Amino acid sequence: MGVDIGALWTKAVVMEGGKVLASGAIRSSMHPAGPVGELVANLLAKAGLPPGSGKIAATGVGRKNMAQAAHLTDIMAFSKGARFLHPATRIVVDLGGQGVRLMELELDGMMSNFITNDKCSTGTGCFLDIMAAALGVEPAYMGTASQAAKEPAVINTSCTVFAESEVVTLVAKKRPVEEIIAGLNGMVAKKVVAMINSVTTKGDIMLAGGVAMNAGVVGAIEHELKRKAILPPEPNMVGAIGAAVSAGGAK
């Protein structure tokens, strides 16, 4: 089993024989032990396995709260998860709740380099949640609304505080919400693509993390890249899958 305790969401998967048997997610909390234990128990039951089955590894900002689990960093977990899901992956971009991380992989799957924007919230789940609140919409709406936009609004700053102020101003000027969201998704995409273009590794690019579930952001990234990215069926589970692969003893 692999558990990824992130800033906003905690994800877990149960794997056996190289297959994901069950997966699930709950909101992260200040005291994760109880909720995570319940999530683990539910997934084991869903997979038809008895309580306490198998080995467990944890990753994410809250991994140290799981004393009974082996621990590995987010970067290693996402590298392993991406390699498991798509062996030809050369670049993994984790679009998470608190930060955006890019990992470069060698042909054999070993990580050769990584970069992160942890000092800036642009492109993260937190950033998009704040913008959704400023617009008075649900975060999930941010992924589909931009597809109905006639012309994306121009957002001049990537700073969360100033971007929120710009959004409020655009709303006051009666700019359609869909166009504002398209502008925000496009700004996020430009930041992500700038990170991708800053590395020398070429090849398949996988988008992972919760923000990769936002179709508007993914579409904007692919538009900027002028190519398709690899998008797993559950991009938010890549870290948890990598932790499970590690728990199973895979290199």
pLDDT per residue as tens, the chain (251 positions): 999 998 889 999 999 988 999 999 999 887 777 888 899 999 999 999 998 888 999 999 889 888 889 999 999 999 999 999 999 999 999 998 888 999 999 998 889 999 987 566 666 888 888 889 999 999 889 888 887 788 999 887 767 777 888 899 999 999 999 999 999 999 889 889 999 999 999 999 999 999 999 999 999 999 999 999 999 999 999 999 999 999 987 65
Verdict on whether the full-model pTM lies above 0.85:
yes
* The pair of three-digit structure tokens given for residue 12, joined into one six-digit string: 């877990």
Q: From start to end of 76-192, where are the E strands?
A: 89-95, 100-105, 111-116
Q: Tell me the C-alpha distance between 94 and 238, whole Å.
A: 9
What domains, with CATH codes, occur in the chain? 1-73+239-251 (3.30.420.40), 87-231 (3.30.420.40)
Q: Tell me the C-alpha distance between 222 and 228, whole Å.
A: 5
Burial bucket for residue 215 (CB in 10 Å: 0-12, 13-18, 19+): middle
3-class SS at 109? coil
